[in-house]
């Protein structure tokens, strides 16, 4: 059905409490945060809210000089805002699909541009990739989160999780790589033989190689994020 009366449209699209807790998927592409305290969210992701909520840009030295130095390399993709108060907060990012994880002491790396929101109590840090400036435009940094709490990340369309087993490394396109388990340390490799098919603007194919035991999440889309600066 493509035509609705106003009442039919409201019934079909109106907000409904699902009782899922702090983070709730209102739709596949809109995250409802039932705020009672404080959370961190991607700068510019707020689309609506009700109640008494205060928004603050992440302070320059709020998380220490080390993170400030790292952020100088990562551009705007890692900018966070703090939401404090009580009410319902709705966040989204360019219509991308949202996944919620409830970390139970585990750790996970999430591409900096795909991190949407996370609970205050989680430990987090920005991790820069190896020196590949000029080889690729996206995936320049990622965020490692660990502890007890909820985190939401985004992907273009449905994400696919690939299991990594000892002796059987998994290779991914950096621009299609969304997240991976916290125990994995990917390395960048090149394959000149594949330059005819991949390696846009680089002359050779840049791949992420995951070895060991864990998982990696990819999306069916090459997301090119233009970041300022170089890597360290």
Mean pLDDT by 10 residues, the chain (232 residues): 82 82 94 96 95 83 48 53 96 97 96 93 81 49 93 97 97 93 90 58 72 97 59 32
CATH architecture of structural domain 19-218 = 4-Layer Sandwich (3.60)
Cβ-contact 126, 74 below 8 angstroms: yes
At CA 45, angle to CA 160 and CA 125, rounded to 5? 70
Helix (H, G, I), strand (E, B) or coil at 8: helix
Give 40-85 pLDDT, tens digit per residue. Answer: 999 999 999 999 999 998 655 455 544 544 454 444 445 789 999 9
Task: Please tell me the pTM assigned to this model.
Answer: 0.83
Give ∠ CA 88-89-90 in degrees, rounded to 5.
Answer: 125
pLDDT at 182: 95
Contact status, residue 124 vs residue 118, Cβ threshold 8 Å? yes
Query: Reduced to 3 states, what is the DSSP secondary structure of residue 197?
Result: coil
């Amino acid at each position: 059905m493509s035509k609705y009366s106003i009442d039919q449209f409201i019934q079909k699209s109106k907000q409904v409490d699902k009782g899922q807790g702090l983070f709730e998927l209102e739709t596949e592409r809109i995250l409802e945060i039932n705020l009672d305290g404080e959370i961190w969210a991607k700068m510019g992701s707020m689309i609506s809210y009700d109640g008494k909520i205060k928004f603050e840009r992440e302070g320059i030295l709020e998380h220490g000089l080390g993170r400030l130095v790292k952020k100088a390399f990562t551009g705007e993709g890692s900018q966070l805002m703090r939401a404090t108060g009580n009410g319902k907060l709705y966040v989204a990012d360019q219509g991308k699909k949202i996944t919620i994880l409830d970390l139970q002491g585990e750790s996970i790396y999430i591409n900096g541009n795909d991190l949407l929101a996370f609970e205050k109590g989680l430990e987090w840090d920005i991790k820069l990739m190896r020196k590949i400036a000029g080889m690729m435009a996206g995936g320049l940094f990622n965020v490692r989160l660990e502890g007890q709490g909820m985190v939401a990340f985004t992907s273009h369309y449905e994400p696919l999780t690939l299991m990594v087993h000892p002796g059987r490394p998994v290779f991914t396109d950096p621009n299609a790589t969304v997240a991976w388990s916290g125990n994995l340390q990917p390395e960048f490799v090149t394959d000149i033989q594949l330059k005819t098919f991949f390696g846009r603007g680089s002359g050779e194919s840049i791949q992420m190689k995951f070895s060991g035991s864990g998982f990696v999440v990819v999306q069916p889309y090459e997301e090119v994020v233009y970041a300022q600066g170089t890597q360290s």
